[in-house]
Amino acid sequence: MWKTVLRRVLLMIPQLFILSIIVFALGQAMPGDPFTGLITPQTKPEAIEALREKAGLNNPIPVQYKDWMVRILRDGNFGQSYTYKMPVSTLVGNRVANTLWLSLLTVILIYLIAIPLGINAGRYQDSAFDKGVVIYNFISYAIPSFILGLIFLLVFGYKLHWFPTGGSVDLGFKKGTFDYAMNKLYHMILPAITGAVLGTTGTIQYLRNEVIDAKTQDYVKTARSKGVPTDKVYSHHIFRNSFLPIAAFLGFTITGLLSGSVFIETIFSYPGMGELFISSINSRDYAVMNTLVLLYGFLTLLGSLLSDIIMTIVDPRIRIE
Amino acid sequence: MENEKILEIKDLHTGFRFEDKYFDAVDGVSFSLYKNELLAIVGESGCGKSTIANSIVGLHDKNHTRVSGEIIYDDENVVNYSEEQFNKIRGKDIGFIFQDPLASLNPLHRVGEQIKEALIYHTDLTKEQRHERMLYLLGRVGIVNPERTARQFPHELSGGMRQRVLIAMALSCKPNIVIADEPTTALDVTIQAQILDLLSELQNEIHAGIILITHDLGVVAQMADRVAVMYAGQFVEVAEAKELFRNPLHPYTRSLLHSIPQSDAVGAELNVIQGMVPSLKNLSRDGCRFAPRIPWIPDSEHEKNPILHQISRDHFVRCTCWENFHFENEGGC
Amino acid sequence: MSFLEVNDLKVHFPVRGGFFNTIQDYVYAVDGVSFKIDEGKTYGLIGESGSGKTTIGKAIVGLEKPTAGEILYYGQLVNKKRLRKKLGYNKEVQMIFQDVLSSLDPRKRIRDIIAEPIRNHEKLTKEEEMKRILTLLDIVGMPSDALFKYPHEFSGGQRQRIGVARAVALNPKLIVADEPVSALDLSVQAQILNFLKKIQKDFNLSYIFISHDLGVVKHMCDYIYIMHRGRFVEAGTREDIYNNPQHIYTKRLIAAIPEVDAENREEARIKRIKVEQEYSEKESIFYDENGKVFDLVPISDTHYVAIKNKEDLGYVENSIA
Ligand SMILES: Nc1ncnc2c1ncn2[C@@H]1O[C@H](COP(=O)(O)OP(=O)(O)O)[C@@H](O)[C@H]1O
Ligand SMILES: Nc1ncnc2c1ncn2[C@@H]1O[C@H](COP(=O)(O)OP(=O)(O)O)[C@@H](O)[C@H]1O
Ligand SMILES: [Mg+2]
Ligand SMILES: [Mg+2]
């Protein structure tokens, strides 16, 4: 199996290469350049021109691309953010960590909510509990994410003051201390719950259907015909099979959350990748934007690889050799 | 002890609910099963064969199934047993073998674990003893390398091996009764022959009574001691196997036998039974249920409320229409 | 006179794997078979599942590309799409599939399903087309109100007839029928078989009849090929095969048929055991050291057996007598 993983990782190289060309081409196609924002009526055109020359923006396009790639690969230099005045790698690095923690918490919450709800709704199909779950599902499906986010923010943030309304950590905590970590967690809870409520819809629905479907499978009938007690039929035979598609989807769920974080982070002013992405678009901070697109692409590829690996672990029928 | 009765079914009715009404798929079936006997139930698909099998051990979804009548096992009527009560006899006293060996095995569990499962709930064996017994069973059903096979997953085995595994599973607790629902329908003929021979051999060893459900009259002829021919929820003819093939009486039995490509009339036109098995909702429950498919036989030949008539010691036929039955192209006699 | 000739046909499917996902091995699904098809005759193809029957059928109608060998239609090669088109071959050679339901588009009405081949090959007005379809429905014994129904509204037997109607729509010379009755009940099977025989007489059709049911093949076929591991182990007339089987594989197949004969079941069982024993003892006479079937050699005008030395047959014969 490790051979396949290695092969898939190697395969990611050309994929990323193509992605980088697309990203670069898009950057070229955009109107303006990083210096456009610096132009004021007082700026001399020659000064701008000098800056452009110095930054290599007057070189032929393939050379510019090569230079860009060389800087990234050799020096880990993704350029300089013009709005934040710091290296993109440092900037993005902090933000990525924030988003990863938020996504992780969201995934955990999703499964904590969705698994018991989905499984029991499926097991006790048409019971009052099941009907309640179906209604919950319907509501969480119908509400657009930003509205739910705003409602939570308003109620639990501004009105009740239970949770902070922005940021990822308060000032005055020392990095690495326990209190620092708890404060970070405290900031993540509200956005994570919002993301989780939205994320549960599909998962609950899916699990419920899988359980209902699994109940009618022949192997379940076989298990019952062996005299396996009902609880064991569920725990040994039905649930495990029902988890398969969910597990297979875990990789995609995570990448989905990473990119879906754009809305939630913006609403909660949570300093993560998504929020950075939006602000970099607004300020035409191409170096940041390009880096983030590359990163999203990379994470998507990683997510699908992760899904495949999980799949081969949980489902013996799928053998990657 | 040859004739020890191990199962008695009296007037079994099993109905499925559509909206608010129940429609009987099994409509007044009675029979007994004896130790060491192989009883075949034969008929076209949709006649209710599997429904009988599932009713005996309560495998139906109780929310939309209604079972009534008597199913007497070990002096108790199990018809209205709860799932917990059924679990005490399923797998222990009554073993099941299903049609599709791949679908019937859990794809995520190793074969060995699936065989051991029944032993956990029905025996006092220790873990090591269960493992020993599982390996013994695999060997007993003709698997060459039990240790290896036990560690494999169902999809890694051939169709024939999977069916052997299912048989090992069904027989793991030495049941008194084995119900095999179309056990070889999905297999190639050569594999079918092996599996059927294995089943007979194992029966001689544990003396179980077997209910073999099939639509293949060849399989019936090779395997059965007694045969029940089923049509539209009822038995239309019950007889000892040799008697049935020597002297088939009911028009349905005769029509079925007549539609098989026969070796003595190669290439001749085959008999076709007009129409088809009615669905539950379209089935008319008055009079002879086979009458619509033999419309050239006058109404007067049928009984109003057809019952099973005893023709000889071991031969029963439903309705009176068999007496003057002839095929359409034969003309009256 | 034979109008179709198949010479040394091979269809190999690559098995991929390894680090670069290269071709590691081949499935020799069909591995060198030759035969000729005469007008108005029925040819049986029997063998266990996986022996390559369907693949031969597909290669003949052009759905599977031969790896090697030639298919000649009136002496002309038809192994390329262009060549088939030029000769109108696709119109003359049709296939009925084992799993009809999956070969019928569930969203199309019966009318369009049957009309499809007509529209592809002939230019007819709406009225002419309708008349043709009604005639076809009549031929297969279906009422005209079937026209506007969808495939799922029919029973298995009816669907099989729709498959037949579509196959005969263009008045072909040859129909490859792949297990057309395997999934049907006895009485419906009888109906379809009678019907295939009737239209054969009416249109002077030829059939390649694929099945694993030896009783059915015996009933339908003039000439029979027994297949094993992608090759023919024996070929002969109905009488050759059933009354005088020579290859151990054929013997085993015939011994395994459960005859509708309750009186002699003990004899049948003993015979089966004997043949099974012979099968394991005589393997080396009929298969080479790699388990491959030998080439066919004639033992009479019509009867062929795959064996290394014809002399061994006598030895086999004596040893069972
Ligand atoms: N769970 C079910 N719900 C509704 N109808 C059913 C169910 N199971 C079987 N039936 C119907 O009952 C009849 C008998 O089915 P079955 O016992 O499976 O027949 P057989 O095994 O003889 O082919 C058929 O008409 C079938 O459609
Ligand atoms: N498209 C395919 N790719 C790879 N292997 C195939 C393909 N189609 C068939 N095979 C393999 O070729 C062999 C012959 O298959 P098939 O012709 O369908 O057999 P039959 O019809 O006799 O059951 C089998 O081992 C099958 O798994
Ligand atoms: Mg059934
Ligand atoms: Mg096939």
pLDDT at A38: 60
Q: Is B216 a domain residue?
A: yes
- Spatial distance between the Cα atoms of B203 and B35, rounded to a whole number of angstroms: 10
Tens of pLDDT, residues B303-331:
999 999 999 999 999 999 999 999 987 76
Contact: C21, A3; criterion CB under 8 Å = no
For residues C196 and C42, the answer to whether their CB atoms sit within 8 Å is no
Lowest-pLDDT range of A24-33, C111-120, C208-217: A24-33
C251 and C187 share one domain: no
Other CB atoms within 10 Å distance of the CB of residue C148: 11
List the one residue out of A97, A102, A140, A100 whose CA is nearest residue A118: A140
From ligand 3's centre to the CA of B166, what distance in Å?
17
Q: Is the pLDDT of residue A320 over 50?
A: no
Contact B197, B209 (CB under 8 A): no
Please, which pLDDT band fits residue A303 given cuts at 50, 70 and 90? Answer: confident
- Whether residue C22 lies within 8 A of chain A, CB to CB, comes out as no
pLDDT in the model for residue C321: 35
Query: Strand (E) positions, chain B?
Result: 5-18, 21-34, 38-42, 65-73, 76-77, 94-97, 177-181, 209-214, 226-231, 234-240, 308-312, 315-318
Query: Is residue C21 less than 8 Å (CB to CB) from chain A?
Result: yes
- Given phi > 0 = left and psi -120 to 50 = alpha, else beta, which region is B79? alpha
Ligand 1: does its nearest atom lie under 6 Å from the Cβ of B233?
Answer: no
| Buried-state track B129-147, b at ≥16 Cβ within 10 A, e below 16 | ebbebbbebbebbbbeebe
How confident is the model at residue A294, as a pLDDT? 84
ipTM: 0.91
Q: A229-238, B85-94, C164-173, C224-233: lowest mean pLDDT where?
A: C164-173
Position with higher pLDDT, A38 vs B83: B83
What are the residue ranges spanned by the domains of chain A?
91-284
Same domain, C185 and C102: yes
Distance from A320 to chain C by nearest Cα, in Å? Answer: 9
Same domain, C115 and C263: no
pLDDT higher than threshold 50 for residue A321: no
Q: Which amino acid is at A97?
A: A
Q: Residue B333 pLDDT more than 60?
A: no
Distance from CA of A10 to the nearest CA of C (A): 10
Kindly tell me if the per-residue pLDDT of A162 is higher than 80.
Answer: yes
- What are φ and ψ of residue C276, in 5° steps? -60, -40
> What pLDDT, in 10s, does the model give residues A56-65?
777 777 888 8
What pLDDT, on a 0 to 100 scale, did the predictor assign at position A198?
Answer: 82
pLDDT at C13 over 70: yes
Q: By a Cβ cutoff of 8 Å, what residues of chain C touch chain B?
A: 48-49, 155, 157, 185-191, 193-194, 197, 212-216, 218-220, 238, 242, 252-253, 255-263, 265, 268-269, 272
Q: Is A321 part of the contact surface with chain C (CB cutoff 8 Å)?
A: yes
Of A302-306, B89-93, C87-91, highest mean pLDDT: B89-93
- List chain C residues with CB under 8 Å of A7: 19-21
Instruction: Flag whether pLDDT at B278 surpasses 60.
Output: yes
The DSSP result for A260-308, as a single string, is HHHHHHHHTT--SHHHHHHHHHHTT-HHHHHHHHHHHHHHHHHHHHHHH
- CATH assignment at residue C216: 3.40.50.300
For residue B178, pLDDT beyond 90 = yes
pTM of the model: 0.87
Q: Tell if the CB–CB gap between A3 and C17 is shorter than 8 Å.
A: no
What fold does the segment set A91-284 form as a domain? MetI-like fold (1.10.3720)
The answer on C246 and C183 residing in a single domain is: no
Whether C272 shows a pLDDT value over 80: the answer reads yes
Name the DSSP class of C316.
H
Question: What's the average model confidence in pLDDT over B44-57?
Answer: 94
Q: Give the number of the ligand closest to the Cα of residue C64.
A: 2
CB nearest B261 (choices: C216, C252, C253): C216
The domain tally of chain B equals 1
The reported pLDDT for the residue numbered A277 is 85
* Residue having the nearest C-alpha atom to atom 18 of ligand 1: B50
Residue A34: per-residue pLDDT: 60
Q: Name residues 81-120 of chain B within 8 A of A (Cβ).
A: 83-84, 86-92, 95-96, 98, 100, 103-109, 117-118
C315 has a pLDDT exceeding 90: no
How is residue A120 written in tokens? 């029991």
Nearest residue (by CA) to ligand 1, atom 17, is B48
Q: What angle do CA A309, A311, A316 make, to 5 degrees?
A: 115
Would residue C230 count as lying in a domain? no
Residues with CB under 5 Å of ion ligand 4 are C 54
The answer to whether residues C203 and C252 belong to one domain is no
Specify the pLDDT at position A31: 64
Measured from the Cβ of residue C194, the count of other Cβ atoms closer than 10 Å reads 15
Comparing CA positions, the residue from B176, B222, B217 lying closest to residue B195 is B222
| Residue B261 counted as domain residue | no
Three-state SS for B94? strand
Cα A58 to chain centroid, rounded: 36
Q: Measuring CA to CA, which residue among B95, B73, B102, B86 is closest to residue B171?
A: B95
Domain-located, residue C270? yes
Question: Is B256 a member of any domain?
Answer: no
Partner C contacted by A75 (CB < 8 A):
no
Of A76-80, B226-230, C208-212, the poorest mean pLDDT is in A76-80
pLDDT at C320 > cutoff 50: no
Q: Does residue C301 share a domain with residue C171?
A: no
* pLDDT tens readout for residues A98-150: 888 888 888 899 889 999 999 999 999 889 999 999 998 888 888 877 788 88
Structural domain boundaries enclosing C257 = 238-321
How far apart, in Å, are the Cα atoms of C184 and each of B46, B66, C136, C140, C253?
A: 12, 29, 22, 16, 21
Q: Are C20 and A7 inside 8 Å of each other by CB?
A: yes
Element (H, E) at B122: helix B111-122
Between A185-199, B41-55, B115-129, the lowest mean confidence (pLDDT) is in A185-199
| Domain with B78 in it | 5-231
* Nearest-by-Cβ selection for B88 from A223, A224, A227: A227
- Give residue C76's pLDDT: 93
Q: Which of A171-175, A276-280, B252-256 has the lowest mean pLDDT?
A: A171-175
Q: Are A302 and A254 in contact (CB under 8 A)?
A: no
Number of independent structural domains in chain C: 2
Kindly report the protein residue whose alpha carbon is nearest to atom 9 of ligand 1. Answer: B51
The overall average pLDDT reported for chain A is 82
Residue of C nearest to A3 (CA): C19
Ligand 2: which residue has its CA nearest to atom 27? C50
For residue A264, CA distances in Å to A150, A194, A202, C303 come to 9, 8, 18, 78
Residue of A nearest to C20 (CA): A7
Q: The tokens of B288 are what?
A: 């002879």
What is the rounded average pLDDT of the residues C60-89? 92
Sign of the CA dihedral B303, B305, B311, B314? Answer: positive
* Ligand 1 closest atom vs CA B279: 25
Q: Indicate the pLDDT class of residue C58, thresholds 50, 70 and 90.
A: very high
Closest CA to C59 of C30, C99, C34: C30
C297 CA to centre of ligand 2 in angstroms? 26
Is residue B172 one of the residues assigned to a domain? yes
Contacts of C242 in chain B (CB under 8 A): 263
Q: Let me know whether C122 and C242 are in one domain.
A: no
Nearest protein CA to atom 26 of ligand 2, as residue:
C50
**Is A197 strand, coil or helix?**
helix
Instruction: Catalogue the E-assigned strands of C18-60.
Output: 22-38, 42-46
- Give the total residue count for chain A: 321
Q: Which helix (H) or strand (E) holds C176?
A: strand C174-178
Rounded Cα distance between B13 and C68, Å, is 60
**CA-wise closest residue to B137 among B99, B108, B165, B102:** B165
Note the maximum CA span of chain B. 70
**Does B166 lie at the interface with A, CB-CB under 8 angstroms?**
yes
Task: Spell out the SS3 assignment of A284-296.
Answer: CCHHHHHHHHHHH
What is the four-CA torsion angle of A247, A252, A253, A257, rounded to 10 degrees?
160
Per-residue pLDDT, A254: 77
**Closest Cβ opposite residue C256 in set B193, B221, B271:** B193
**pLDDT of res. B62:** 86
Q: What is the pLDDT of residue B27?
A: 95
pLDDT attached to residue A1: 67
The verdict on the CB of residue C130 being under 6 Å from ligand 2 is: no
In a domain, B267, yes or no: no
pLDDT of residue B331: 63
Least confident range from A312-321, B126-135, B296-305: namely A312-321
Inform me whether the pLDDT recorded for C318 exceeds 60. Answer: no
Nearest to B167 by CA among B129, B131, B132, B205: B205
**Collapsing DSSP states into helix, strand and coil, what is residue C6?**
strand
Chain centre to alpha carbon of residue A198: 13
Residues of A in contact with B109 (CB under 8 A): 236
- What is the pLDDT at residue A319? 60
pLDDT(A312) > 90: no
> Which residue's CA is the nearest one to ligand 2's atom 25?
C50
Residue A160: pLDDT band with limits 50, 70, 90: confident
Q: Report yes or no on B159 lying in a domain.
A: yes
Q: What CATH number did the domain enclosing B214 receive?
A: 3.40.50.300
- Give the minimum alpha-carbon distance from C19 to chain A in angstroms, rounded to a whole number: 7
Cα gap A85→A80, rounded to integer Å: 7
Confirm whether C8 is domain-assigned. Answer: no
- Same structural domain, C213 and C157: yes
Residue contact A7–C17, C-beta within 8 A: no
For residue B49, report the distance from its CA to the centre of ligand 1, in Å.
Answer: 8
- What is the number of alpha carbons within 13 Å of residue B255 lying toward its C-beta? 32
For residue range B227-266, what is the model confidence (pLDDT) as tens digits? 999 999 999 999 999 999 999 999 999 999 999 887 666 6
- In this prediction, what percent of chain A has a pLDDT beyond 70? 94
